[in-house]
Amino acid sequence: MDAARPLTPAGFESGPPAEGGGRANAADDAGRITPVMEQYIEIKAANPDCLLFYRMGDFYELFFDDAEVAARALGIVLTKRGKHLGRDIPMCGVPVHRADEYLHRLIAMGHRVAVCEQLEDPAAARKRGGKSVVRRDVIRLVTPGTLTEDTLLDARRNNYLAAIARARSTSEESRFALAWIDISTGEFRIAECERAALAAAIARLEPGEIIVSDALYGDAELAPYLRSLPAVTPLARDVFDGATAERRLATYFGLATTQSFGALTRLELTAAAACVSYVERTQLGQRPPLSPPLRESEGATLAIDQATRGNLELVRTLAGERRGSLLAAIDRCVSAAGSRLIAQRLSAPLTDPEAIARRLDAVELFVTNAGLRAAMREQLKAAPDLARALARLTVDRGGPRDLAAIRDGIIAAAGLAAELAPAAGLAAELTQAAAMLRRPDAAIAAELAAALAEELPHLKRDGGFVRAGYDAALDEARALRDESRRVIAALQARYAETSTVRALKIRHNNVLGYFVEVTAQHGDKLMAPPLNATFIHRQTLAGQVRFTTTELGELEARIASAADRALGIELETFERLAATVTAAAPAIKQAAEALAVLDVAAALAELAGERRYVRPQIDDSRDFVIEGGRHPVVEQVLEGGPFVANDCDLSPLPQTADGRICLLTGPNMAGKSTYLRQNALIAILAQMGSFVPARHAKIGAVDRLFSRVGAADDIARGRSTFMVEMVETAAILNQAGPRALVILDEIGRGTATFDGLSIAWATVEHLHEVNRCRALFATHFHELTGLAAALPRLFNATVRVKEWQGEVVFLHEVAPGAADRSYGIQVAKLAGLPAAVIERAKLVLARLEAEDRASPRGFEDLPLFAAAPRPTPPRDAMLEAVISALAALHPDDMSPREALEALYALKAKARDR
């Protein structure tokens, strides 16, 4: 921790000098609770669920349990300060100038922090009397879902606070409403959904924090799910009170009713009101500007559950990194706001072909107009993060640089609008963006430009951010302040001369103010006549002696008041400018949104140009035709050879309604998984409004996407249990409808061969007969290829390999038909298994295959899944007998002879059949 930490920070002083200088004691020697302690306990009691950052001088201190939690979490030293009720008080602290960093770590671990500040100068408290305590109060609750600081946020990601509300009435038991807010950008949305869709909706948002009512948190059915999520905050019922919801929501927006938000259900109002109430609570009554809540109708976005998102590595890889994800592969945005929007769109692709086409129109315009695109991107690069600067200014956490960001953002927006408008005619999304870019009043930017200096400090309290010449009174105060400094320098020269002490210096510190300082050897001279008439002794240190003079005292007062006045004027100017900006918040927010929209459209066009993507055709059919499709991530990272493009056609056969299922076989490492995923990713890209890596693509909009990998292949997730695989497969079979797209990769591999085969078999049948969806099914069970004969909408495909001088060569080429064998042994050889093992394996394989041909299993004759639910097979009497005999054996208690006899007995039973 900070080495500069004083050994005796301002503590629980037990008497004068009170704040600022005393020893840190919570209680005096008689064991009485000190006033500071009393104040601490009161504030802590009001914020029981937060770690309390209690400001004392240059530190935020934590005490008692908070100190123990924070010291452990942050790896900082836990000390003791004074006693409370006879026991040591644990304490730790973080220096104020590094508080953000520590806050960040605590928040990331799911803690909530109440920041308690000193609300007055300690000097003011001292004036009230020796025992007075500096006034303090919590100015803010820092929770994972309500952050605004750049240092606490990832610029390229949204950070959502989400509220989940559940319908009370028993008939609607499973109805939920979800409201989500990003207070750092003002985005606010609401949606209703069924219980079954809740997890997918949450998975899409990945909220930084989720609030629920106490009742919901304790609900037996939901509790396990809610507890599996990070940062869920249960709140008292009043926050989720439906009766007051509308009023609370309207009040937040300063409206009489919420009618202008469109028809919201009571459930939606409840969730939305919970969000705003919580924001007010954490911001201590401040109301960061939010966009009016936008209602997302059910089914407007492509539902993708958590497992599928993870599996397809949409926004991060299975290892949890952005690098290597689809998002990283396609994000060519030049602004943080653009990156946030593209991530949002990728997480929630659309289902309405028209809405998708509107986005594609914008991308296409920039694809065909590369010159315009380049010009736009150049300007967007320079545009600041308007939305986040605005949010900070409105919650009083902004600095001079945020004002500059607003200035530059408005100017950039106007410039872009001028350039865009003439060309945008073809794309409605861009025409609308151009209009939104013009919303903010140019006068605001002009005012800010006039007021702000060139070089800006980070904090407003540092001053110096108002341009010289902007405010006459400020200029005067600054002149006086700077003049006085020159006078000090002159005074020092004069004193040095009159005293003949050439090393005499005039210095300044916070305790003494300005003082004259000479080295110890000259001290006596100044304290003796005649100089002692001028120099008044203040302090003798080891090496120096310090003095003041009447003249210096007067000068000091003048300097201080001029500096104070200058800073005061600057702060007033800041407040006035911030108020102007806040008043224009809705217009500025629209411009910010438009900047992001532009950036995304131009970035997707850039990507399309760079990687030869084409515009997909999306409609309401059940078609799925990809020609020359590529994997958007693999093709970018592939070294050693080009990516082999592959077609995929799952469209319904002529005169039928439902899409088809492709059963893909082929050796290990042939490219099956890659092929499956690339088709799912192309669907996602198309529906988010992006061009796609293919020669041609036509997709009937998918409403739900599922992707699963068999447990044996799912090593990266570290939960390779067959159970998980089955649970997830069950979810698909229960949920997928005819518009869904299902990707199943090696399902059934996690268990014994025959088990696995039968499960895979039944799953394919179910998809075909019941779900009737489009699907891609990769399997190493060759037996399944026979199913195509019985299931009309199922067809076989294989990834081709070439055998050359006994080695396999992977062609990565998907072709109709079934793989003739699995080539596992060749792969083993490639992997370097000893030659003897390979040779032996070849022999065994030949034997097994010969036996297999001699007694074909005849799977093709099994009844279809839907046609006849299979009766439970009669249990085999012999098997039962052998098993129970086995169970009765106690090998540890047997003699070798008994064991041998038992073995004979078992053998006899087996022969009995």
User: Contact residues for ligand ADP (CB under 6 A)?
Assistant: 634, 638, 643-644, 646, 666, 668-674, 812
Q: Give the nearer residue to Mg ion in terms of CB position, either 190 or 742.
A: 742
Q: Which 668-687 positions form the footprint of Mg ion (CB under 5 A)?
A: 672-673
Q: How far is CA 680 from the centre of its chain?
A: 23
Q: Give the nearer residue to ligand ADP in terms of CB position, either 56 or 670.
A: 670
Q: C-beta of 778: minimal distance to Mg ion in Å?
A: 6
Q: C-beta of 726: minimal distance to ligand ADP in Å?
A: 21
CA-nearest of 445, 446, 444, 449 to 467 is 449
What does 762 bind: ligand ADP, Mg ion, none (CB cut-off 5 to 8 Å by kind)? Answer: none
Q: C-beta of 827: minimal distance to ligand ADP in Å?
A: 9
Q: Give the nearer residue to ligand ADP in terms of CB position, either 716 or 902.
A: 716
CA-nearest of 583, 587, 187, 589 to 387 is 589
Neighbouring-strand partners of residue 795: 662
CA angle centred on 593, ends 591 and 596, rounded to 5°: 110
Q: C-beta of 707: minimal distance to Mg ion in Å?
A: 12
Q: C-beta of 842: minimal distance to ligand ADP in Å?
A: 21
What single-letter DSSP state applies at residue 285?
T
What does 669 bind: ligand ADP, Mg ion, none (CB cut-off 5 to 8 Å by kind)? Answer: ligand ADP
Q: Give the nearer residue to Mg ion in terms of CB position, either 409 or 710.
A: 710
Q: Give the nearer residue to ligand ADP in terms of CB position, either 449 or 669.
A: 669
d(CA 735, CA 444): 52
CA-nearest of 36, 20, 598 to 28 is 36
Q: Which 844-883 positions form the footprint of Mg ion (CB under 5 A)?
A: none
Q: Give the nearer residue to ligand ADP in terms of CB position, either 379 or 779.
A: 779
Q: C-beta of 752: minimal distance to Mg ion in Å?
A: 20
What does 812 bind: Mg ion, ligand ADP, none (CB cut-off 5 to 8 Å by kind)? Answer: ligand ADP
CA-nearest of 727, 606, 726, 741 to 678 is 741
Q: Give the nearer residue to ligand ADP in terms of CB position, either 29 or 639.
A: 639
Q: Give the nearer residue to ligand ADP in terms of CB position, either 343 or 644.
A: 644
Q: C-beta of 669: minimal distance to ligand ADP in Å?
A: 5
In three state form, how does the secondary structure of 16-32 look? CCCCCCCCCCCECCCCC
Q: Which residue is nearest to ligand ADP (CB)?
A: 671
Q: C-beta of 812: minimal distance to ligand ADP in Å?
A: 3
What does 671 bind: ligand ADP, Mg ion, none (CB cut-off 5 to 8 Å by kind)? Answer: ligand ADP
Q: C-beta of 182: minimal distance to ligand ADP in Å?
A: 36
Q: Which residue is nearest to Mg ion (CB)?
A: 673
In three state form, how does the secondary structure of 566-589 look? HHHHHHHHHHHHHHHHHHCHHHHH
Q: C-beta of 747: minimal distance to Mg ion in Å?
A: 12
Q: Give the nearer residue to Mg ion in terms of CB position, either 25 or 674.
A: 674
Q: Is 779 in the site for Mg ion (CB under 5 A)?
A: no
The structure tokens listed for 472 are: 């006459």
Q: Give the nearer residue to ligand ADP in terms of CB position, either 114 or 645.
A: 645
Q: C-beta of 692: minimal distance to Mg ion in Å?
A: 22
What single-letter DSSP state applies at residue 785?
G
d(CA 260, CA 253): 11
Buried b (16+ CB within 10 A) or exposed e, 617-638: bbeebbbbbbeebbbbbbbbee
The structure tokens listed for 714 are: 């799912």
DSSP three-state, residue 886: helix
Overall residue count recorded for the chain in this entry: 913
What does 830 bind: ligand ADP, Mg ion, none (CB cut-off 5 to 8 Å by kind)? Answer: none
Listed ranges 408-416, 657-665, 666-674, 765-773: which one lies at the site for Mg ion (CB under 5 A) = 666-674
Q: C-beta of 657: minimal distance to ligand ADP in Å?
A: 31
Residue with tokens 């109060």: 137
Q: Give the nearer residue to ligand ADP in terms of CB position, either 90 or 671.
A: 671
Q: C-beta of 710: minimal distance to Mg ion in Å?
A: 9
What does 741 bind: Mg ion, ligand ADP, none (CB cut-off 5 to 8 Å by kind)? Answer: none
What does 487 bind: Mg ion, ligand ADP, none (CB cut-off 5 to 8 Å by kind)? Answer: none
* DSSP, residue by residue, 181-197: EETTTTEEEEEEEEHHH
Q: Give the nearer residue to ligand ADP in terms of CB position, either 739 or 812.
A: 812
CA-nearest of 734, 631, 781, 636 to 197 is 734
Residues in contact with Mg ion, total (CB under 5 A)? 2
Q: C-beta of 637: minimal distance to ligand ADP in Å?
A: 8
| Strand boundaries in 485-569, DSSP class E | 505-509, 513-519, 536-540, 544-548
Q: Give the nearer residue to ligand ADP in terms of CB position, either 161 or 799.
A: 799
The structure tokens listed for 341 are: 């929007």
CA-nearest of 849, 808, 488, 773 to 668 is 808
φ and ψ at 393, to 5 degrees? -60, -40
Residue with tokens 């000190």: 34
Compute how many other C-beta atoms are within 10 angstroms of the C-beta atom of residue 270: 29
Contact 283, 269 (CB under 8 A): no
φ and ψ at 509, to 5 degrees? -145, 170
d(CA 680, CA 692): 11
CA-nearest of 179, 117, 104, 180 to 143 is 104
Q: C-beta of 624: minimal distance to ligand ADP in Å?
A: 18
Which x/- pattern, by CB under 5 A, does the window 324-363 give for Mg ion? ----------------------------------------
Q: How many CA atoms lie within 13 A of 642 on its CB side?
A: 6
Q: Is 311 in the site for Mg ion (CB under 5 A)?
A: no
d(CA 366, CA 610): 13
Q: Give the nearer residue to ligand ADP in terms of CB position, either 449 or 638.
A: 638
d(CA 802, CA 823): 11
CA angle centred on 667, ends 663 and 670, rounded to 5°: 90
Q: Give the nearer residue to ligand ADP in terms of CB position, either 638 or 885.
A: 638
φ and ψ at 141, to 5 degrees? -105, 125
What does 644 bind: Mg ion, ligand ADP, none (CB cut-off 5 to 8 Å by kind)? Answer: ligand ADP
Q: Give the nearer residue to ligand ADP in terms of CB position, either 318 or 453.
A: 318
What does 670 bind: ligand ADP, Mg ion, none (CB cut-off 5 to 8 Å by kind)? Answer: ligand ADP
What does 668 bind: Mg ion, ligand ADP, none (CB cut-off 5 to 8 Å by kind)? Answer: ligand ADP
d(CA 797, CA 788): 11
Report the amino acid identity of residue 645. Answer: A
Q: C-beta of 713: minimal distance to Mg ion in Å?
A: 6
Contact 651, 625 (CB under 8 A): yes
* Alpha-carbon distances, residue 636 vs 63, 639, 896 (angstroms): 52, 9, 64
Q: Which residues bind Mg ion (CB under 5 A)?
A: 672-673
